[in-house]
Homo-oligomer: A and B are copies of this chain.
Amino acid sequence: MDKRLPTRRGTNLPRMGDFNESVVLDAIRRVPDGLSRVELVEATGLSAQTVSNICRRLLNTGLAREAGTRSSGSGKPRRLLQVNAHARYAVGVHLDPAVVTFVVLDLLGTVVAHAQRPTPEAADPDHTLVEMSESINALVTDSGVPREHILGLGIAAPGPVDLASGLVIAPPELAGWGRVPLRDYLGETTGLPVLLDKDVIAAAVAERWAGAAANTGNFLFFYLGTGSGMGLVVDDVVLRGLSGNAGEVGGLYAACTTNALVAEAIEQGVLGPEFKPAGPRDAEHSLRQLCRRASAGNVTAGEIIDRWAVRVGRGVSAAATLVDAEMIVFGGPIWPLLADRFMAIVPGIVASSPFVEKIHPTVVTTTGLGIDVGAIGAACLVLDQILSAQPQSLLLG
């Protein structure tokens, strides 16, 4: 019954206060050594008095702490502020077709607790949901983090999703999953505020929060897992799209799944028919074998991977051109297997695109967050929403 006019909403004083607090917190978070009030004035554009007031608030709530002084020539030395990393935490879950990963992150994005379980093969979402919420609650208790210090739970799910209703909609790699109310179920069973996003989008948020893309507002994350896709960040905004499914690679999809590659390898005799995958875990296993053959000098295996790299390279190059990105970041669970060959091929393709040559260089790089980038990203959704300064958060609900 949402008959509201599709107008942008207004803002008010409390929102403004919270927002400015986030701005300050976000600024000091980015500088490990800490930042003084004058530097914050410079960085945020706020007045000295306002910064002073906000800093007091942050110190009182324990979100920040004093971190010594630093002299800048003559005059009173600056008193530095640091984020108190252990003041708050966020929980993240990555539901991958092969494995479910759980993490607890502190305010600086450091992993303070970690767990992993194989995804149940049974075509039974209910069972998986129960297991997930049990694992979450267990991890939270084991981590020793006081529950009231947990800001919320982030979920990274394979697409497609429907953000408005918090559903996962029949992901191709999860047999038997129809429209599953992942967000609401885990919200009820854990009692935490929950955010849901597609895994590749969550991974991009992670890169922005604490990874390779921390210092750019225009990048593209290419995720290589059981499925592959992109997370796009343009003008400092994470692109989600109408239903939260931005980043699907329609063109690449059919030709570049793990399954398709393994099938090609079997057909060409690089892998024996025993590697024909029955489920998502097998596919990854087979691909790992393919990569091993390539590293060992099997030319055909190497060519299969290299052709894949070329297709992906063209795809990311076109996408980076489309959104005028400054950086392309690769990552995901199977990326470590492919990094060497991909990094030998993709940067060249990108660099030789007419756009990049003419307008500005585009950095191609590797995630700094490892294979858990999905789960870390899930937790970062919470950090990002609550602590990072998003103009969106100014708007009235």
Question: Which A residues lie at the B interface, using CB under 8 A?
Answer: 4-13, 16, 19-20, 23-24, 26-27, 30-31, 39, 42-46, 50, 160, 169-170, 215-218, 230, 232, 234-237, 239-251, 253-254, 314, 317-319, 321-326, 353-355, 358-360, 388-389, 391-392, 394-397
Could you tell me if A7 and B26 are in contact, using CB atoms closer than 8 angstroms? yes
Please name all residues of chain B whose beta carbon is closer than 8 Å to the beta carbon of A392 when the two chains form the complex.
Answer: 391
Copies of this chain, complex-wide, total 2
Could you tell me if A250 and B321 are in contact, using CB atoms closer than 8 angstroms? yes
Please name all residues of chain B whose beta carbon is closer than 8 Å to the beta carbon of A359 when the two chains form the complex.
Answer: 160, 169, 243, 245
Cα separation A396 to B354 with both chains bound (whole Å): 36
Please name all residues of chain B whose beta carbon is closer than 8 Å to the beta carbon of A6 when the two chains form the complex.
Answer: 215, 217
Cα separation A215 to B242 with both chains bound (whole Å): 13
Residue with the greatest number of chain B CB neighbours at <10 A, chosen from A215, A243, A245: A245
Could you tell me if B243 and A324 are in contact, using CB atoms closer than 8 angstroms? yes
Please name all residues of chain B whose beta carbon is closer than 8 Å to the beta carbon of A241 when the two chains form the complex.
Answer: 218, 234-235, 323-325
Query: A387 to chain B: closest CB distance in Å?
Result: 12
Of B216, B250, B319, the residue contacting A317 (CB under 8 A) is: B250
Please name all residues of chain B whose beta carbon is closer than 8 Å to the beta carbon of A31 when the two chains form the complex.
Answer: 5
Could you tell me if A246 and B230 are in contact, using CB atoms closer than 8 angstroms? no
What are 28 A-B interface contacts by the 8 Å CB criterion?
Answer: A5-B30, A5-B39, A5-B43, A7-B27, A7-B43, A8-B26, A8-B236, A10-B19, A10-B20, A10-B23, A10-B45, A12-B46, A44-B396, A169-B359, A170-B358, A232-B323, A234-B234, A235-B237, A242-B325, A243-B324, A243-B360, A246-B322, A247-B324, A250-B317, A250-B318, A250-B353, A391-B392, A394-B394
Of B43, B45, B243, B247, the residue contacting A397 (CB under 8 A) is: B45
Please name all residues of chain B whose beta carbon is closer than 8 Å to the beta carbon of A245 when the two chains form the complex.
Answer: 324, 355, 359
Please name all residues of chain B whose beta carbon is closer than 8 Å to the beta carbon of A19 when the two chains form the complex.
Answer: 10-11
Of B43, B248, B314, the residue contacting A4 (CB under 8 A) is: B43
Cα separation A175 to B325 with both chains bound (whole Å): 27
Closest 8 pairs between A and B when the two form their complex, measured CB to CB:
A241-B324, A45-B396, A391-B391, A250-B321, A246-B324, A10-B46, A7-B27, A5-B43
Could you tell me if B7 and A11 are in contact, using CB atoms closer than 8 angstroms? no
Query: A161 to chain B: closest CB distance in Å?
Result: 9
Please name all residues of chain B whose beta carbon is closer than 8 Å to the beta carbon of A247 when the two chains form the complex.
Answer: 322, 324
Could you tell me if A322 and B249 are in contact, using CB atoms closer than 8 angstroms? yes
Residue with the greatest number of chain B CB neighbours at <10 A, chosen from A19, A249, A359: A359
Could you tell me if A16 and B5 are in contact, using CB atoms closer than 8 angstroms? no
Cα separation A317 to B248 with both chains bound (whole Å): 11
Given contacts A5-B27, A242-B360, 12 further A-B contacts (CB under 8 A): A5-B30, A5-B39, A7-B44, A12-B16, A44-B396, A45-B395, A235-B239, A239-B324, A243-B360, A245-B324, A322-B322, A391-B395
Asked, given contacts A10-B45, A44-B10, A46-B10, whether A239 binds B234 with beta carbons under 8 Å apart, the answer is yes
